[in-house]
Amino acid sequence: MRKNIIISALVALLVTVATIGVYNYFTRPTTPRVVFQDELSAPVNNVLYTLDENGNAVPLDFTQTAKKVAPAVVQINVEITSRSKRSGQREVRDPFRDFFNDDFFRDFFPNQSPQRNPRQEPPVAMGKGSGVIINSNGYIVTNNHVVENASRVEVKMNDQSTYDAEVIGTDPSTDLALLKIDASNLPYVEMVNSDHVEVGEWVLAIGNPLSFGSTVTAGIVSAVGRNINIFDRNENPYAIESFIQTDAAINKGNSGGALVNLNGDLIGINSAIASPTGYYAGYGFAIPSNLVNKVIEDILEYGEVRRAVLGVTIAEVDPRIVEENNLKVNRGIYVDSVVSNSSASEAGIQPKDVILKLDGENIDRVPVLQEKIARKRPGEEIELTLDRNGKTINTTVKLKSLNDTRPDLAVQQLSAVEKQLGVSLEELTEEEKSQLGLENGLKVVKLGRGVIMDKTRIEEGFIITKVNDQAVNSKKDLEKVINSRRESGVLIEGIYPARPNQKVYEAFGF
């Protein structure tokens, strides 16, 4: 009896507890449950790894490369007066302005009032870019479009010290310029063979974007030998485009900065971006170091860039060209035409030939062929392997200069006096003399860095009639007078065509 009472009490207790539990379950608040995980996920990506020389996976680290290179990348500040872009003349399209469409480049081309008095001080615009120190004695590489038409160039170092820079030489066809500052024992970056750059390898872009100062970004090489049609071929038909493409972030102000490998070696000079907005969109382009090296060597040795050309019009072989011309090969560079008296014609190259190799290396892309030819000098030889209607032909080509091949397209070299004064001069035609009522004169057709820009208010279009009261009718006349007055002052007399009856006088000393 006692046992039955105990069992009944236990059953009643269990029922009561169960009833209370069910009631609480259905009447409890609907607050969501909070779940604590044993391990929280990190709010960052995993560390990137790369392989060392022995094939072992090691964390990818850019710090040592950045420390090595950043001190050798400088900021370039330029001043540009309106005299270098005289109003009323046809404005040449600047392709890099399209890729860097911001106030920096609008400053380079301010709208000028056509009525401005040439005796007034011309307005000054400011611009910024980047540069790379390439040896300890102060030589710096940058883009031509950074310093073009600059009346003053200043270099700001990584430690904030500043120097006035001299423009040693420029090459618009590759968009390169060489500067020099008066300093020594500087940190610098060494160039390496850009032919060894591979798609997929890690690179750093270092420069001064968006006026932020020294900035390092990382990415990979996404393409090599890239042609982006940045040059106007009507203005510069022999321009070279064979860029290293990278997805390292490059923005306005990076122009002239360094593209380096993980060892801190220079593989390219950053030059352009492709973007619908003018800001970084994943595509940056650098001039390969092998081409940079050749241009700089030419400027230092000859004072100008000596270009060799093959003398052909070409296209990459594709299925359409194969079908239309019944070619026996499906790769290479198709020769559409050959310029008479060119390197190619003298080597026996014919239209419809296909270039397969250059110096034993397969050639399948036009930019790569153009770059390799541009790295040669007139007089050097190359070995070409051709396909001609299914027959393989090997030929040696002795390269000629652009001036010897197409003198109508070659840039005329400046005389010694033009280089010193910083001007390009032309003798007046008989028709111009008659229209202006002059018997002699030299026209200033282009104004660059030099004595005229630094010490006078002369603008493009000015006609020099006399120097120290002696009539000048040729560059030799001008040079003779200038050389005789180096120890004293020089007085220039002339006119502007718009005001032929108003004489203008400018004086300067050396």
Residue 326 amino acid letter: N
**Which neighbouring-strand residues pair with 504?**
494
Structural contact between residues 369 and 358, judged by C-beta atoms closer than 8 angstroms: yes
Catalytic member of 82, 171, 173, 175: 175
**Does the annotation mark 255 as catalytic?**
yes
**Does the annotation mark 175 as catalytic?**
yes
Catalytic member of 255, 271, 275, 424: 255
Choose among 205, 203, 202, 201: nearest CA to 217: 205
- Across 295-359, the runs of DSSP E, i.e. the strands, are 308-309, 312-316, 333-338, 354-358
Q: How far apart are CA 371 and CA 358, in angstroms?
A: 12
User: Tokens in use for 124?
Assistant: 């000054």
Q: How far apart are CA 226 and CA 229, in angstroms?
A: 9
3-class SS at 496? strand
Other C-beta atoms lying within 10 Å of the C-beta of residue 386: 22
**Does the annotation mark 196 as catalytic?**
no
The phi and psi torsions of 240 (rounded to 5 degrees) equal: -110, 125
The phi and psi torsions of 271 (rounded to 5 degrees) equal: -135, -35
Count Cα atoms within 13 angstroms, Cβ side, for 407. Answer: 2
Q: Per-residue DSSP letters for 251-265?
A: -TT-TT-EEE-TT--
Enclosing H/E stretch for 224: strand 215-226
Catalytic member of 130, 145, 289, 353: 145
The phi and psi torsions of 263 (rounded to 5 degrees) equal: -85, -5
Q: How far apart are CA 373 and CA 240, in angstroms?
A: 10
Residues involved in catalysis: 145, 175, 255
